[in-house]
Chain A
Amino acid sequence: GIQVEQSPPDLILQEGANSTLRCNFSDSVNNLQWFHQNPWGQLINLFYIPSGTKQNGRLSATTVATERYSLLYISSSQTTDSGVYFCAVEQAGTASKLTFGTGTRLQVTL
Chain B
Amino acid sequence: NAGVMQNPRHLVRRRGQEARLRCSPMKGHSHVYWYRQLPEEGLKFMVYLQKENIIDESGMPKERFSAEFPKEGPSILRIQQVVRGDSAAYFCASSQEHSNQPQHFGDGTRLSIL
Contact = CB atoms under 8 A, between A and B. Distances in A.
Given A31-B99, A35-B105, A41-B108, A100 B56 contact: no
B45 A97 contact: yes
B107 A42 contact: yes
A83 interface: no
B87 interface: no
Contacts of B15: none
Nearest to A90: B99
B2 to A, nearest CB: 15
Interface string A45-58: 10010100000000
B101 interface: yes
B100 A95 contact: no
A75 B39 CA distance: 29
Contact of A45 (B41, B42, B105): B105
B56 A95 contact: yes
A33 B102 contact: yes
Given A43-B105, A43-B108, A96 B42 contact: no
- For the residues of A in contact with B, the DSSP-based class is strand
Nearest to A88: B43
Nearest to A86: B42
B44 interface: yes
B48 A96 contact: yes
B45 A31 contact: no
B102 A96 contact: no
A103 B42 contact: yes
A31 B105 contact: no
A13 interface: no
Contacts of B31: 96
A100 B99 contact: no
Interface of B: 31, 33, 35, 41-45, 48, 55-56, 58-59, 89, 91, 93, 95, 98-105, 107-108, 110
